[in-house]
Each structure stands twice: as structure tokens, then as C-alpha cells.
A and B are shown apart, each in its own frame.
Chain A
Amino acid sequence: EAGVVQSPRYKIIEKKQPVAFWCNPISGHNTLYWYLQNLGQGPELLIRYENEEAVDDSQLPKDRFSAERLKGVDSTLKIQPAELGDSAVYLCASSAGTSGGEETQYFGPGTRLLVL
């Protein structure tokens, strides 16, 4: 079974430019997460989807970040415009089922963003 797929793996952009990250979750997983991981720290949730609905986006900086999961499968996270402080690893994860707390989250390899 294929795991969570993310692309690109690495991205270097200049500040003020837009950037987009793509995630394809494990087949059949209803819940999709986007996390931000700064160097030397644990992941922090940006947004959680249950199917196509964003059920927790309280930590998403909505002035510059946006996300979508139009058909309840793939998801895209966008930053426009990017700032130097956005340099980090962006992780996508998915889990089966909805609302239950015990399900395991499976993570993709992440996209490492460097903003110059």
C-alpha cells in the first residue's frame, strides 16, 4: 500500500513569491492534516480536514496561507506571499475514520521550504 505522497520534496523561492504544496493521502483515509515543523521542534497543526471539510483551521495564518481539499482526497496548501519565517518543513498526514481520537496518523516525507 502506498503511503502519503507529497510534492515537491524541496522548494527554494524568494520572499514575496507564491508557493504551493501538494499531498495525496493514503487511499481511503478520510482525515487529512497539514503540519508545520520548524527545525528542532515537533509538528504543529495548520489545518485538519474531514473529507472535504476543514474542521480545524484555527492555527492557519489566513492572511497568507490557504488550503483546499476539493474532492475529499488530494489537498493543496498555498502560501502567498511567502516570508522568510515560512522556511520550514511542511508535513502532510492522513488517518482513517473521522472524529475518533485513537486512530494513527501516517505522515508523508514532507516538503522542505527555503525562503530567501
Chain B
Amino acid sequence: AQSVAQPEDQVNVAEGNPLTVKCTYSVSGNPYLFWYVQYPNRGLQFLLKYITGDNLVKGSYGFEAEFNKSQTSFHLKKPSALVSDSALYFCAVRVGNTGGFKTIFGAGTRLFVKA
């Protein structure tokens, strides 16, 4: 079965420290990988995606993610966390072909950044 795992329900980090939110996947074929952020009572906001090319992808708000094919991972990173980064983060994988694609979301990781 195809799946996305976010192994940490919660990540705590001090403001100014680097942060990592982990994501691993198990799918057939070559996936397209996405990260979204969700603030309270809001929809998901797109952060970044990996389609092809350079394994390091840069996105919104200073976030970046590294695609690692051998480890089937797509961890989200930021060099210096802000209190305002506190939110719920979702990793997503799109799999399929020209006949149709399906998006599989992870369960989410809640990030707390302490001042």
C-alpha cells in the first residue's frame, strides 16, 4: 500500500535554532512531493514541492526540503526557526500517471517554536 509517514506528532524547537520536520514515503514509481502548512482555522498553504532536478528545494518563508531517493525521505528544514512558524505541517505525495494522479497526505506534525 502506498503511504506517507510523518514519524513525529510534535516537534519542539527554540527560536533561532534550526528545525527539521521529517517525512518518509512508500510508493511505487517516481513521486511528486509537497509540503503544506496549516495555521489554526485556515486551509493548507503550499510551501514547496519537488518534481525533478536538484534534490534541495527552496520554498516560502525560508523553508527548504531535501529529496533523498535512497532513503525515500523528503524532510522539511529551516536554518533559523521563528515563533510564527508554529503550525501544523503536512507532507504529501502525488503518485500516478497520465490516467490520473492521487495525493496522499501524512498525518501532520505540529511544530512548536518557543521564544
Given A56-B100, A101-B96; A107-B45 close (CB under 8 Å): yes
- A45's partner among B41, B43, B45, B103 (CB-CB below 8 A) is B103
* Number of CB contacts from chain A to chain B under 8 A: 58
Contact (A107, B43) CB under 8 Å given A101-B32, A101-B96, A102-B49: yes
A41 touches B108 (CB 8 A): yes
Q: Which of B46, B96, B99, B100 contacts A105 (CB 8 A)?
A: B46
Give chain B interface residues in 16-63, CB to chain A under 8 Å.
32, 34, 36, 41-46, 49, 51
Size range of the interface on B?
20 to 34
- Let me know if B105 and A42 touch, CB within 8 A: yes
- Encode contact with B along A40-64: 1 for CB under 8 Å, 0 otherwise: 1111110000000001100000000
Report A58-116 residues with CB < 8 Å from chain B CB.
Answer: 91, 93, 99-102, 104-110, 112
Cβ–Cβ < 8 Å partners of B46 in chain A: 104-106
Count contacts on A: residues with CB < 8 A to the other chain.
Answer: 24
Verify if A4 is at the interface (C-beta below 8 Å from B): yes
B90 at interface, CB cutoff 8 A: yes
CB nearest to A31 among chain B residues? B101
Majority secondary structure of chain A interface residues (helix, strand, loop or mixed): loop
Write out the residue numbers on chain B whose beta carbons fall within 8 Å of the beta carbon of A45. Answer: 102-103
Given contacts A42-B90, A42-B108, A91-B44, contact A105 B98 (CB under 8 A): no
In Å, the complex CA distance between A110 and B42 comes to: 7
Asked if B13 lies at the interface with its beta carbon under 8 angstroms from chain A, I say no
Can you report 10 A-B residue pairs in the complex whose CB atoms are below 8 A from each other?
Answer: A45-B103, A91-B44, A100-B101, A101-B94, A101-B95, A104-B49, A107-B36, A109-B43, A110-B42, A112-B41
